[in-house]
Amino acid sequence: MQHEFRVIDQHFVLLEPEFTQGASIGSKANQYVRDTLNGEVRTDDWFVEGDYRLVVWRNRDGRQQYLAFAMTRDFLPGTDERRLVGYFELAPARTTKDN
């Protein structure tokens, strides 16, 4: 997926130590994007890439805009067992024809 999109906005936070509700955060994000932002899941489930998990939604209204919710799979070094969670706003990667 690394060549399909470009990041146009992002926001990340560290979770509290010993936080165990990762699935709940993903479920709430899915509900918000689906119900409030009129999005639909582009990937069937969590996409696992190395050290993180990712789910991607696209807008249903035809705009070439996507949101991705990401969470690290493991704790970040030096963070007292905290994981990173956040979102990216994505757009299709530009091709040489777009320049």
Per-residue pLDDT of the chain (99 residues; tens, 9 = 90+): 667 788 899 999 998 887 877 778 888 888 888 898 888 888 666 677 777 778 888 888 877 778 888 888 888 888 888 888 999 888 888 754 544
Domain boundaries, the chain: 5-93
Please, is 91 exposed, middle or buried when counting C-beta atoms within 10 Å of its C-beta (0-12, 13-18, 19+)?
Answer: middle
* pLDDT for the residue numbered 95: 55
Distance separating alpha carbons of residues 11 and 77, to the nearest angstrom: 20
* pLDDT for the residue numbered 44: 63
Statement: the pTM of the whole predicted model exceeds 0.85 = no
